Chains A and B, each alone.
Chain A
Amino acid sequence: MALPPPSPLRSWSATLFFKRRGSSLLAFGLLAVSVSYGHATPPSPSSASAPLEARKGEIEALLDLTDDLNRGRSSHSELVMKVKTARYEREMTIEAWSEGAERSLLRILSPKRDAGVATLKVGDEAWNYLPKIDRTLKISASAMGGAWMGSHLTNDDLIKGSRMRRDYTWALMSRPTDSGEGRYQIELTPKPDVPVVWGRLTLYISADKRPERVEYWNERGRLQRVMSFHDYRELDGRAVPMRMRVTPKNKEGELTELIYTTLDFNVSLPPRTFSLQSLKR
């Protein structure tokens, strides 16, 4: 059975179809080994208490720290994604590679029915490879809002990789005392022209500068979801969370967890790791 030659098909115009269905088909993205913050927005409500004075450099360093939490110059990792919804619980194992913020590749290892499905991100573009039909599909703009593999992460979360420092204005709401009590609380409001869906983010960072959680609020000031970081471990001279959890606030009891089983930074990756050819392997 000769298959048609697979190519990064523009003709596979998934866009129309997604629009028609309004669903999150192929909602698939890059499990870039980082936390990223997404999407489009009106201005956020101002918060009640007044911001504290803060040094610009100090806060911006915290934002970069959070953005680059699981990202090195390069990385190679294996992780388990656990998804719990009202209907089912399932687990997936994933192998991932990344280089800076711009390139990443991930491939599903199990379960069997999804094994070999791979996603490549280079810059602003992303492709999925589906082994059973031997085709590579570009992820269209309209598919970005969809859930990734039935999880509570969206394609946007995984692909876009907006930067807090670049895309948001911040205000420090509280900080730890000199004796190490309390934590940093930073409010982030998207800058006017940045396409993000959230109205506001609230970032909590411990006194020893470990990000604890990020709250995502919509433009009407309602909490939408929480991403939290757990199981910190010293790796490559810094603290890295080995477990991340996303909890949607409108769905009782549902959550998605990402748990690193291995994580190596600054590995040497063969050339062309992030190419359409390597997607298929």
Chain B
Amino acid sequence: MIPTIVLSTPTLSWIPFLQPAGSLGNLWWLLMIPLILGISIAYRATHDASIEQFWQRVFLFVMKSTLAMGSLALVMYLFVYWIIPNLQTT
């Protein structure tokens, strides 16, 4: 599927920070990754006793969190689209 970027207002030019950047269509959930990155930078900067290997730890945190969220999404998808329809038919 090709992502389409659609401006939310019919203007000829886009004013950054005043107008919304537009949506990513069905790929809006990818914005979860920069969100996790920001959280992880702020969290690791305050939580860790040492800031050696900071970016490696941030990368691991982002990977683990993304995988965890992805797994939850997969479980929910299976539950809603597979388990519940089967329950109704039996």
Asked if A and B bind, the verdict is no
Q: Which residues of B contact A (CB under 8 A)?
A: none
